[in-house]
Structure 1
Amino acid sequence: MDNISLINSKKETYFSQLDGIRFLAVMLVLIDHWMAERNPLPLGHLGVTMFFVLSGFLITRILIQSKLKDDRTGRSHWFSVKQFIVRRSIRIFPIYFLSIFALYYFNIPPVRETLIWCLTYSTNLYIAINQHWMGTIDHLWSLAVEEQYYLVFPYLILFLPTRHYLKLLGAMIVIAIATRLWLYFNGTPWLVQYVLMPTALDCFGLGGLMAYYFTFKKNEVFDKLAQTKFIILSFIAYAICVSLIIIQQKTTGEVENFGKLVTERFLGATFCFFLIAKAISEYKGFLKWFFEQPIVQYLGRISYGIYLYHNFVYNFYHTPQTSIVLRGLHKIQRMFPLFTLNIGFEFLYFLGITVFIATLSWFIIEKPINHLKKYFTY
């Protein structure tokens, strides 16, 4: 079968420019979290959305490959379920749980009070129920969303006939938008709907569509979608939406409007869909040079660690002035007044510390443990 031959040939393909996408996504999050009120744009929202769409593509592609190999070899789909769970656990769990235990040991709030929520990847539910963020561990909500998504989605891909995939992925997009609409018209606060897994399903669904078309209809559909014009058009639509949201907020003082609660994530996910599709097909010119820069590639490769640790290094709203990181910053600024209130320097200072920690994490913990994946091949 031609499709299976295509899958076998592509299975071990490493899309190098996707590390550039990871770099871009994590930088958007860092700018949003570290610059906070000095940055009016929802860059963090877009960064997280980019991660979700990218995850939707990669996970769906892996699962489709596994299913077709199961069907071709007569192997049980439960074998692929086990392989998926083990491999994702090897990649995600070690530094996550080590971070939680370290925060617990040093009594960094609110970890001890919310330990069960942290250990069960349900901090997003805690935020939704209590309707407030969690300080130093705010950002763990997105990791919880991904883990909750993994609890269901692999079974659907592995056990559903492939002819139903488009219906499934389309239904995910509809469910997400319908859920956000329902929550909006019921007056649910933005914070609640933003962190729930079902409201992010359009991001995963669009990523899944990308994987489906790449696998089964690369020439007929995927290559036609991976065009610069679609990136530009989708970005314009997203930028217009964000502009209208900001204008309405400043004009009426209404923080939670329809665009922010319902539309922004879908348009952002659509932009990310085309941006990532083009990276899979590979950019040319300046963007090829940028996404394939060694430093960009490296930071993209360790982006999980950067994302996990960055809030522990600094958070605009929650880091006390007595923290060792801020004391170090203020000491440098006293020595070199030129760096006082210099946003660019502050960002690079926090980034340097975060990258240093993430680098240690990568070489000491993550990379050695990741080698265990070779014993659990699909």
Structure 2
Amino acid sequence: MTELSSGGRQVSIPRIPAHEAVVHGSSHVRALDGIRGVAILLVLIYHLGNSVGGEFGLPRIFRLAAFGWVGVDLFFVLSGFLITGILYDSKSHSHFFKNFYMRRALRIFPLYFSALIFLLLLRTAWPSLGLYGQASDGWLWVYLANVVIAVQGFGAFGLMDHFWSLAIEEQFYLMWPFVVYALDRRGAMRVALAMCLAAPLLRTMLAVTTDNSPAIYVLSPMRMDSLAMGALLSLAIRGPDAVDPGRLVRPALWTVVSATVVVAAIVLATRDLSAHSWAMETFGLSAVSMIGVSLIVLSLASPVKRFFEHGVLRWFGKYSYGLYVWHPILWMIIFHSNWARSLRGSNETEAMLISLAAAIGLLLVFVMGSWHLMESQFLKLKVRFQ
């Protein structure tokens, strides 16, 4: 029980288990912040490993970092889970669409468009940087980076290439609320299940008929299974005939084991840790998403949640959006610009350590600054749209 003060009286209210808090939207579930923290750490390790390994000739040491791309898939699954819960729980609200889109805009747009303004200023002040890519920045402003990359390939936006995943999420936000609003719970679950099945089939068809790996990886229809798996779980644990997350723990454990075996078998067979082998692009991505949705179950209704509730993971989870937006922009300049290379001395180890310190330090300055000076201020306005 928890005691709250109300008008001088002590009022006792029951504690709500973590999984019930998620279902009823009555509390903040710390373990989910931890999952978000794991996701961003994987992405940071991936890019840091690629930058340090590639720039300073240490590919073997940083080889395992190449598997950090799975962090993006974990973000997708978690986003599908949380967004669907918000949408389902607010279906009866008279301002359903207005509240949802305003709250999303307050969370996403300030940082996203600030980064684009920073890019505009950077282009103006430093036109010779050489890390911008050839595609028009206008596509970034309308969340179509993934479509352009599917046509032109990675590198189209240079240090802004990572915005492809933000484009996928935004495209999901534009479509999914209408599905949840228009259909009952079971109807929405059927749509989510169809998306889970359709995505690997679409990826396989494209892999068989073309050699366009970027399109397979970044187009929304190809990646909708990860978002839909999270959505399906969110709907399954809601409603009058909801499934108790505790009953899903054993299936989740088996899913983690079996999907991990599948992913490991793909890596061993292809000797490729990237997401771009044929097997990984087709059904491997679905296996990774199955691991992600199983981790959500375990974080809600098993002792595994204690791991995800660790303060360090939750700290990274809290600042994950800023970390994701800023790190490639800053790190490409620090590690891969001709300007940065010209400043390095002849001692490679010393240059690497200085570059690492600069990369981490500058990222923290940008992330903490953007959070405290801008993002948190906009988030205070979300209370107006409940």
TM interval, short-chain normalised = 0.7 to 0.9
Paired residues of 1:56 and 1:208 also in contact (CA < 8 A) = yes
Verify: 1:93 aligned to 2:83, yes or no. Answer: no
Q: Which has the higher helix share?
A: 1
State the match for 2:381 in structure 1: 372
Structure 1: distance between partners of 2:300 and 2:340? 41
Q: Alignment RMSD, CA only?
A: 3.1
CA displacement at 1:223 relative to structure 2: 1.8
1:271 and 2:291 correspond = yes
Aligned equivalents of 1:113 and 1:268: distance in 2? 30
Q: What is the match of residue 96 of structure 2? A: 80
Q: Does 2:145 align with 1:123? A: yes
Is structure 2 residue 320 aligned with structure 1 residue 320?
A: no
Partner of 1:3: none
* Structure 1 match to 2:199: 176
| Partner residue of 1:62 out of 75, 86, 95 | 86
Shift of 1:317: 11
How far residue 340 of structure 1 moved from its aligned partner, in angstroms, is: 6.0
2:279 is the counterpart of 1:259: yes
Q: Does 1:234 align with 2:234?
A: no
The alpha carbon displacement at 1:206 in A equals 0.8
Correspondence for 2:210? 187
- Tell me, in whole angstroms, the C-alpha distance in 2 between the residues paired with 1:22 and 1:245: 25
Q: Do the aligned residues in 1 keep the contact of 2:21 with 2:29 (CA within 8 Å)?
A: no
What is the TM-score with the length of structure 1 in the denominator?
0.82
Contact 2:34-2:317 within 8 A present in 1 as well: yes
| 1:27 corresponds to | 41
Does residue 140 of the first structure (1) align with residue 157 of the second (2)? no
Give CA-to-partner distance per residue, 1:242-280, whole Å, 9 cap, x none.
Answer: 4333344349xx995431211221010000011112213
Q: Determine the C-alpha separation between the residues in 1 that align with 2:258 and 2:22.
A: 37
Match of 1:297 in 2: 314
SS at match of 1:374: helix
Q: How far 1:112 sits from its partner (Å)?
A: 8.5
Query: Hey, what's the Cα distance between the residues in 2 that align with 1:139 and 1:200?
Result: 15
Structure 1 245/60 Cα, relative in aligned 2: closer, same or farther at 3 Å? same
In structure 2, distance between residues paired with 1:250 and 1:63? 41
Query: Structure 1 316/45 Cα, relative in aligned 2: closer, same or farther at 3 Å?
Result: farther
Give the structure 2 partner of residue 45 of structure 1.
Answer: 69
Matched residue of 1:314: which SS?
A: helix
Q: Deviations over 1:211-234 (max 9, x none)?
A: 11222378744222134x734x43
Alignment-mate amino acid for residue 13 of structure 1? S
Cα distance in 2 for residues equivalent to 1:268 and 1:219? 25
Letter in 2 for 1:353: L
Q: Which residue identity does 1:320 align to in structure 2?
A: S
**Partner secondary structure for residue 237 of structure 2:** helix
* AA of the residue aligned to 1:168: V
Say if 1:340 and 1:52 are closer, same or farther in 2 by CA, change over 3 A. Answer: same
* d(CA) in 2 for partners of 1:61, 1:9: 7
Contact 1:305 1:362 in 2 (8 A): yes
Structure-2 separation of matches of 1:8 and 1:225: 15
Matched positions, count: 349
Q: 1:360 to 1:282 in 2, by over 3 A?
A: farther
Report the residue type matching 1:25 in the other structure.
A
| Alpha-carbon distance change, 318 to 354 in structure 1, aligned in 2, over 3 angstroms | closer
Q: Which runs of 5+ in 1 are unaligned?
A: 1-5
What secondary structure is seen at the aligned counterpart in 1 of 2:328? helix
Please give the residue correspondences for 1:158-237 in structure 2 after superposition, counting only pairs within 5 Å. Answer: 158-216=181-239, 220-227=243-250, 230-231=252-253, 233-237=254-258
C-alpha separation in 1, matches of 2:204 and 2:185: 30
Residue 266 of structure 2 corresponds to which residue in structure 1? Answer: 245
1:361 aligns with 2:370: yes
Amino acid of the residue matched to residue 115 of structure 1?
D
In 2, are the aligned partners of 1:32 and 1:39 still within 8 Å (CA)?
no
Percentage of matched positions with identical amino acids: 26
In structure 2, what residue type is equivalent to 1:297?
R
Cα distance in 1 for partners of 2:261, 2:22 equals 42
1:155 aligns with 2:208: no
- Kindly state the Cα deviation for residue 240 of structure 1 after the two structures are TM-superposed: 3.3
Judging changes above 3 Å, is the alpha-carbon distance between structure 1 residues 176 and 42 closer, same or farther for their aligned structure 2 residues? Answer: farther
Distance across 2 between alignment mates of 1:185 and 1:338: 44
- Confirm or deny: 8 A CA contact 1:49 1:272 kept in the other structure: yes
Q: CA deviation at 1:352?
A: 3.6
Q: Is the CA contact (8 Å cut-off) linking 2:107 and 2:375 kept in structure 1?
A: yes
Change (3 A) 1:222 1:245: same
| Structure 2 runs not aligned, ≥5 long | 1-19, 51-58, 124-128
Question: Contact between 1:136 and 1:318, CA under 8 Å: does it hold in 2?
Answer: no
8 A contact 1:90–1:369 mirrored in 2: yes
Partner Cα distance (2:336, 2:322) in 1: 19
Matched AA of 1:355: L
